[in-house]
Amino acid sequence: MHCHHRPKRTSFLPYGKQSIDEDDIQAVVNVLRSDFITQGPSIERFERKIAEHVGAKYVVAFCNGTAALHGACFAAGIAPGDEVITTPITFVASSNCVLYSGGTPIFADIRPDTYNIDPDEVARKITPKTKAIIAVDFSGQPAETDRLSMLAHDHGLVLIQDAAHSIGASFGGRKVGSLADMTMFSFHPVKHITTGEGGVIATNSEEYRNRLLMFRSHGVTKEPEQMERNDGPWYYEMQTLGYNYRMTDIQAALGVSQMDKLDRFVARRREIAAQYNQAFSENEGITIPYQHPAAESSWHLYVIRWNQGTDRAKAFEELRSRNIGVHVHYIPVYNQPYYRDLGYEQKQCLHAEAYYEEAMCLPLFPGMTDDDVQDVIYAIKEVLRG
């Protein structure tokens, strides 16, 4: 059967993009006209809104997700000599936060089907020096937090979930944000909701929350019950070396407004993923994303494997020339020159390497029209036919 011919797209379709509407703009303008553009009431409003949505007791906002991960490593007590196990198929920030803290990232291979960290590989990499696991919910599909929590519990490790891709997702019927000791969400414009730059840690631990609050603001506290002494109403204490990692009220107000649309954004992403699944399930040469039975993804990325001997790099260029903004997420982190120079063995994880040879992300964001989706499907099938 011949497909109806579609003309080439005239505009470039990116792999991800924010959706900002007039309510969002108004929310930001309102804050700009108010008394506080930073350290004001919008921060707590945003934190509470996320906490309620994801089912966590506390949420602490940061200027970006990377700073939030650095905070999580600090709160977990990561220090020189400590090992932290994470996945190589992630953005570099997931392991850089361990280096910031003086710890040593250890890479455990992914499962060949979900592309998430393999709990059996994590178990093999645990040593007496291991302090934490940083699991990444790659593409929006939660990692196996049931098995990872058990490992963490049995070995006295802190489980940190890098959920930059997975706000709105769940595992075993439980929301991401309520599954690990600390969970990071990012609000970079390609993620589900945006604050321009921004991130948070969700946690049920009051102790972690207090450490995170101090860490994001110079290591300083003004809470009387936390201070060693109190000289008067002006008094504050710096008790640890923190940073200025605060989010502004301008960002938080945008975040509050964006949160109202999160469920709708996730629903649209799921719809588009279902359209791709249906279009490509019968195609030889493409593997569609496998879903773990307990995972309900919020679909940050739609990743296909361009396999069976076809040339991924050539297909990538042909799709880009058709204005389809395909992408490759991610280059295994240990292969980055900085990590190589630190002494990391190259190509150390076999499944991660095989994945990297064939992976390709298709455009996926809530603002895509059905027509945009059909453009992608048509272009892929055209390139597959050669």
Other beta carbons within 10 Å of 184: 30
- Residue, CB closest to ligand PLP: 65
CB nearer to ligand PLP: give 66 or 145.
66
Other beta carbons within 10 Å of 276: 22
CB nearer to ligand PLP: give 27 or 200.
200
CB nearer to ligand PLP: give 111 or 322.
111
Minimum CB separation of residue 94 from ligand PLP in Å reads 5
SS3 277: helix
Q: Catalytic residue among 191, 261, 314, 381, which?
A: 191
What does the DSSP assignment read for 185-200?
Answer: EE--TTSSS--SS-EE
Round to whole Å and give the CA distance between 226 and 218: 15
CB nearer to ligand PLP: give 86 or 104.
86
| Strand bridging mode 158-162 / 182-186 | parallel
- Cis peptide leading into 330, omega within 30 of 0? yes
Minimum CB separation of residue 378 from ligand PLP in Å reads 28
Minimum CB separation of residue 136 from ligand PLP in Å reads 5
Minimum CB separation of residue 316 from ligand PLP in Å reads 20
Round to whole Å and give the CA distance between 177 and 174: 9
- Interface residues toward ligand PLP, by CB under 6 A: 64-66, 90-91, 93-94, 136, 162, 164-165, 186, 188, 199
Minimum CB separation of residue 335 from ligand PLP in Å reads 17
If you search the block for the tokens 């108010």, which residue do you land on?
A: 34
CB nearer to ligand PLP: give 162 or 249.
162
Whether the CB-CB separation of 310 and 285 falls below 8 Å is answered with yes
| Strand bridging mode 158-162 / 130-136 | parallel
Catalytic-residue membership of 191 = yes
CB nearer to ligand PLP: give 196 or 242.
196
If you search the block for the tokens 């007590």, which residue do you land on?
A: 77
Cβ neighbourhood burial of 302 (10 Å; 0-12, 13-18, 19+): buried
Alpha helices by DSSP H, the chain: 22-32, 41-54, 65-75, 93-100, 119-125, 145-155, 206-215, 249-259, 262-280, 312-321, 337-342, 350-358, 370-385
CB nearer to ligand PLP: give 194 or 221.
194
SS3 244: strand
Minimum CB separation of residue 291 from ligand PLP in Å reads 18
Round to whole Å and give the CA distance between 363 and 376: 8
Minimum CB separation of residue 308 from ligand PLP in Å reads 28
Q: Which residues are catalytic?
A: 191
